[in-house]
A and B are shown apart, each in its own frame.
Chain A
Amino acid sequence: MNIKNVIIALVAVFSCTVCAQKSEYPIAAIAEELKDNANAVVRLEKTDINIASQRSMNVKTYRAITVLNQKGLSAVNGYENYDKTTTVKSIEAVVYDVFGNEIKRIKRKDFKDQSAAGEGTLFSDNRVLFLDYTPVNYPFTIVYQSEVATSNTAFIPKWYPVSEFYVSVEKSIFNISYPNNLGFKKKEINFSNFTIQKTTDTATQLSYSASNIPALKSEPYASQSLLFPRVMLGLEIFNLEGIDGNATSWIEFGKWWNSKILEGKNELSEETKNKMIALVGNEKDPIAKAKLIYNYVQQKVRYVSIQEGIGGWMPMSAKDVDRLGYGDCKALSNYTKALLEAVGVQSFYTKVYGDRYKIDIVSDFVSTQGNHIILAIPNGNNYTFLECTSQDDPFGYQANFTDDRDVLIIKPEGGEIVRTKNYEDNGNCQNSIGSYVLTEEGDLTGNIKMMSSGAQYGHKTNVEKLQPVEKEEHYKEYWDHINNLKIEKSSFSNDKEKIQFTENVQISAKNYGSVLNGKMMFVVNVYNLNSNSVKRVRNRKSPFEIQRGYLDTDEVNVALPKGYKIEFLPDNFELKGKFGECKTEVVKKEDGSLVYKRSLLVNKGVYSSAEYEDYRLFMEQISRNDNAKIILTKI
């Protein structure tokens, strides 16, 4: 050991004794109620944001987290993203054992550095520095600290005192300071069920403090956005990737976006313009023209994600898309807009949260929001919205991704908040007509025609694209209650004009009816059995939500085998309630065959946690009735 190492060793020993005296965050100090359902406990989280100017923001994070088990590891969130406008000034972590003794220091150089581009992204200049720590023991406590500087002030990190399910919070503090001339604003969301104090609120400073929040459990049919408290923050005078902006209203915001981000991106060659004019020919109606153009776009382009600098916000020019034939949602929407312009159809670039879960652009908080772009075409007093990244969606189809939510339409004269199309419960249909025949051995052959529309259309159309093996697998899963199922034939028709998808399927199943002691027994409902019952949840806490309702109707002819007589037919069934209604009946026909009729309507809605068990029982009764059997006796 040379002299330098000795000194280092001495310093190490010395600093160890120092920290050993001051024990940090011993586990024993955690209150019992914060351990319930918790995989990790936030001991102290402190966020200090300092906005020095329109083009300068600094975010300091201090996060002390006790990780109780392996599943709590993700709550550490030991990472920072960076790119050309954002730098990580410091990042480090210290690990403490169960008693609060320091066991490891993790320096910046020990953090991993890697591209933050996700799967399917062609290019992104976003990178991430992240903590890669292997715990030696649970529980342990980790204190993570970072400082990040950015010139982007268009996004101020939201304050989430609770950031995950199964994580409790001892204390979370948030401070933000800002010049009084940048038009700072805030919006508090879901505060009511939590103890959160606003400790400062002046012209240049805002602070919050939250304490003792027990861990929340994740439950089916409930979303974080309905439950978790948070504060949105923003500036009226801001900078986005090097571009200054200011907006106090959506009108101003829209004007700014239009002139700084979209302007000049819509140019096209004369050749392309003429091609579009030729394409629409004598068509006068703007919607009819738009359909032709949309169809052209769907044939020509494909979605490829590219995120680079302001390019994360600014669309690739229409000319480039025209040449390359691909782009992301911004590029493809902007391109379609340019093509429409060429044939005199007005359309608007529209910011939206694209998600199966309905998320609104928060309309009373003017700021850069949304994660997706679609196109709005005025249609009477309303708008028709186009999903330009899809090569298959029918014109104007939005269900399951951008339906029924507030979006921001960017017009040259300013922005405007508009609600997108709501798909009504009884329009999300699956109407089935079919039949089946049973032999004396109980073997079944049958065929069914299922017509799906509304939101259900979107669930079904994918079947058409599956490989033969996958198709077979799909139906064997869809009808997994049919033993020995064989798919004899399947064919499809996709009517994009009516937005209706039709499946015609022929099936057979050996021994569908079980024959025992001269009797045959079989489930009368072959094609639409609700077996996926709603899961039981012990001590449910969160309200639940059915986001989209639906209506299924079935009419199936049943030809009974020869040499049997009916011993038992299921009773007619009717169930009505706030969640919807279900009706089934079996009708005897003169020729000895039967007709099975079923309808099930499920309503959308937001319900209290207490109503969840009622809903579960509602669905359970339906699935039990769906299993109703017919018994035949040999003559």
Chain B
Amino acid sequence: MKLYSFKIVLVVFLIATSVKAQALKLDKVTVTELQAKKHSVDTSAAAAILYKKGRTFFTYNEKSGFVMNHEFTYRIKIYKKEGLNWANFEVPYYVGYENLNEENLRFHDAVTYNLEGGVIVKTKLGNEGIFKTKLNDNWKMAKLSMPNVKAGSIVEFSYLLKSENLGQFPVCDFQYTIPVNYAEYKTEIPEYYIYKTILKGYIDVKTESKMEQGSVNFDNQYGQTNTMTYKQISSSYIAKDIPALKEEEYVDNVKNYQCSLHNELERTRFPGQPVKDYAITWEGVAKTIFENKDFGKELEQKDFLINDVKLILNSEDSKEERLRKIFKFVQEKMNWNKDYGYYTDKGVVKAYQERTGNVAEINFILISMLRLAGINTDPVLLSTINNGVPVYPGRTVFNYVVAMADIDGQQVLLDATHKFTTQNVLPLNTLNWTGRLIQQDGTSKEVNLLPTMPSVLNCSVVVKVDDSGKITGNLRSRKTNYEAYSYRDKYAQANADNYIEKMENLYNGIEISNYEVKNKNADLLQPVDESFSFQSVNHTEIIGKEFFINPLLFFTTNRNPFFQENRKMPVYFGYPTQKKYTINIEIPEGFEVESIPKGINLSAGDGALVFKCILEKNQNRIQIAVQSELKKSIVSAEDYSMLKDFYQKIVDKQKEKIVLKKI
């Protein structure tokens, strides 16, 4: 962190006049605003941000050098009681720096406006409603609770956050779960610092930048007031009438689509000093990370692993065999302490000794061991789904690192932190578009993280219906890749009874016996095979002399997961799947098949989605074969209505029943 705490050696101009920092001025709250019962556009909104104004500017003192100041003012209208929580506000701030002073946060000018008898009444908040809590060694939280707030009130408050960490600005959000009428953010950055500005989301933000004269006052060691002048880049970002951000299903991370502004230090250029790069391109980002001692150096440390590699491997092992053995060894030996990051914390040597480590430590050990075994392996930086998609290059966008091995041109992604991952099967949280591979010389390239190989579920059921409508049968299923991973991740450690109970309830109250599972966690490269016998009285409907049976039995999908009429965000499925069900139904004696539904062959999105169902009658048996394929991990928002239609047709089809009739 020392990196960003600069002391400037500059010729300082001694000018006595003090320049007053501009305050953020807002228009006065009006009676009309206070009278408003609902938001003019989004009438269901419980509250709305009428104004959000922000400003980031630099000050200077002799001890710390430049310090960043972030000042924000919010004016929020509460329309309904459900919106009252918007009168409470909290801001976390970082205090865990090693070489920098703690960040400092101060609320000020907190006022509630109410209309009482047609008159605007202001209630100011004193210190009794402001609290600071130390969350842990690294973070503090400042909280504020506005006074005298009811439905109809307008609250207004400001805070000033001072930080010596010049590496990045706090993220400035323009969009919230309530509508924002007007948001404005201004930055004034001395010419010595160049920041990369990242704007996310679908909202139109008006941006302007210009060069201006800037200056700061500071006291020197003799208590004299000095003024330093320089050129500064002044930018403003303005957005109006921003709709509320709404949650939807099958979204990777709603934050990816939230309108927000990010600033990351890209370069410094001080007079008389060489220009210093922090991050410009993905190449530059990768290089900076690579050059950090907690990355590159840690990857060079591998002597301590030589003996174990020798113990694990035989000289005649093929490359595939070596990879398999080493991955299994590291995965079993190391235990993830749930800390993210692409830098090591205690270091690989200590982590190896203690058998626990963060993501970087565990996967660096894996990489080093594979390299020792003669397999070309490199780290891949990525951002997890929870962390969001990195849109523009930046050091701080990544939070995870995995390994990519290359065996004669075949690329294999590996993550040894989780217990049930395997070759090219990573934790679901890491399947986030693309990652950045860093080679041993520090150069880098983009790699695709979205799986292309389908994960397969094959299920075959043989079932017999008796003349009372009861069904008995056997099921066999096979799951591969992510289907197997998801199963193992959830159930490999679960008690068998509990799992069976879960299945019984999931499958509409069947009774399960003779449950067996092969390869629950023995060989993760192999599929999970399950089998059981079952019986049920819930799956035949008897009406008069007729039996009605759902062809797909307990696999029937009753509900279209896409029920919303419109959609803005892409639909995220995680990984491609290929599901096959074969069901063989034997009908009871003394019955005949009155009717069976017609087959169907659906396909959408240029074959990205496929659903086929074939039904055949053969004497006293009915054969049903279903194939459901999803060839993409992500479907774009434009294709939403097609997707919704597709699933609706599937649900409709599954409602049609087999009808048996007593002879």
Contact = CB atoms under 8 A, between A and B. Distances in A.
Interface string A368-394: 000000000000000000000001100
B208 interface: no
Given A136-B355, A631-B544, A624 B563 contact: no
B82 to A, nearest CB: 5
Contact of B501 (A392, A485, A516, A537): A537
Interface stretch (B166-174, B259-267, B492-500): B492-500
A325 B141 CA distance: 23
B421 to A, nearest CB: 16
A514 B657 contact: yes
B88 A391 contact: no
Contacts of A620: 509, 538
Contacts of B559: 476, 480, 483
A244 B283 CA distance: 68
A168 B54 CA distance: 56
B564 interface: yes
The winner among A481, A514, A516, A535 for most chain B CB atoms within 10 A is: A516
Interface in B52-103: 80-82, 84, 87-88
Contacts of B135: 114-115
Interface in B575-598: 594-595, 597
B87 A631 contact: no
A485 B564 CA distance: 11
Label chain B's interface by main secondary structure: mixed
B150 A472 contact: no
B558 interface: yes
Of B81, B145, B656, the most chain A CB neighbours within 10 A belong to B145
B81 to A, nearest CB: 5
A160 interface: no
A302 B652 contact: no
Interface string B398-427: 000000000000000000000000000000
Interface stretch (A116-124, A265-273, A576-584, A593-601): A116-124
A37 interface: yes
B297 interface: no
A135 interface: yes
A536 B509 contact: yes
Contacts of B505: 535-536
Given A299-B150, A325-B149, A392 B81 contact: yes
A22 interface: no
Contacts of A624: 538
Interface stretch (B125-133, B224-232, B322-330, B381-389): B125-133
Contacts of A473: 563
A242 interface: no
Contact of B145 (A71, A304, A516, A536): A304
A259 interface: no
B375 interface: no
Interface stretch (B273-281, B331-339, B365-373, B475-483): B331-339
A627 B539 CA distance: 12
Nearest to B133: A115
B335 A481 contact: no
A136 B145 contact: no
A328 B20 CA distance: 42
A326 B504 contact: no
Interface string B498-536: 001100110001010000000000000000000000000
Given A122-B145, A533-B509, A511 B538 contact: no
A138 to B, nearest CB: 8
Interface in B539-554: 541, 543-544, 548
Nearest to B652: A511
Given A71-B493, A326-B145, A469-B564, A113 B656 contact: no
A498 interface: no
A326 B548 CA distance: 59
B106 interface: no
Contact of B337 (A134, A325, A514): A134
Residue picked from A324, A469, A481, most chain B C-beta under 10 Å? A324
Contact of B44 (A124, A468, A483): A468
A468 B148 CA distance: 29
Contact of A135 (B147, B335, B500): B335
Interface string B117-144: 0000001000011010111110001010
Given A302-B149, A391-B81, A521 B134 contact: no
Contacts of A124: 133
B486 interface: no
B356 A136 contact: yes
B563 A134 contact: no
Highest count of chain B CB atoms <10 Å: which of A467, A517, A627: A467
B148 A323 contact: yes
A521 B550 CA distance: 14
A207 B500 CA distance: 42
Contacts of A112: 136
Interface string A320-332: 1001111000000
A201 B474 CA distance: 60
Interface in A34-51: 37
Contact of B544 (A113, A323, A568): A568
A629 interface: yes
Counting chain A residues whose Cβ lies within 8 A of the other chain, the interface size class is: 35 or more
A483 B655 contact: yes
B648 interface: yes
B651 interface: yes
Contact of B335 (A122, A134, A304): A134
Contacts of A302: 81, 84, 87, 149-150
Interface in A445-484: 465, 467-469, 472-473, 476, 480-481, 483-484
B44 A467 contact: yes
Contacts of A521: 543, 548, 657
B246 interface: yes
Contacts of B648: 484
Contact of B656 (A481, A514, A537): A514
A538 interface: yes
A69 interface: yes
A528 interface: no
B601 to A, nearest CB: 19
Interface string A522-537: 0000000000010111
Contacts of B355: 136-137
A219 B648 CA distance: 36
Contacts of A481: 558
A113 B137 contact: yes
B145 A472 contact: no
Interface string A476-520: 100011011100000000000000000000000001001011000
Contacts of A115: 133-136, 141
A324 B501 contact: no
Contacts of B548: 521, 629
A412 B355 CA distance: 62
Contact of B143 (A70, A122, A325, A567): A122
A618 to B, nearest CB: 14
A468 B43 CA distance: 10
A483 B651 contact: yes
Contact of A113 (B128, B136, B652): B136
Nearest to A322: B148
A37 B501 CA distance: 14
A387 B189 CA distance: 53
Given A323-B147, A324-B147, A631-B543, A69 B137 contact: no
A516 B657 CA distance: 9
A512 B354 CA distance: 62
A443 B492 CA distance: 45
21 contacts: A113-B137, A114-B136, A122-B143, A134-B336, A134-B337, A136-B354, A302-B84, A324-B129, A325-B123, A325-B147, A473-B563, A483-B559, A483-B655, A484-B652, A511-B655, A516-B597, A521-B548, A536-B509, A538-B500, A627-B541, A629-B548
Name the 3 nearest CB pairs between A and B, nearest first: A123-B131, A325-B148, A136-B355
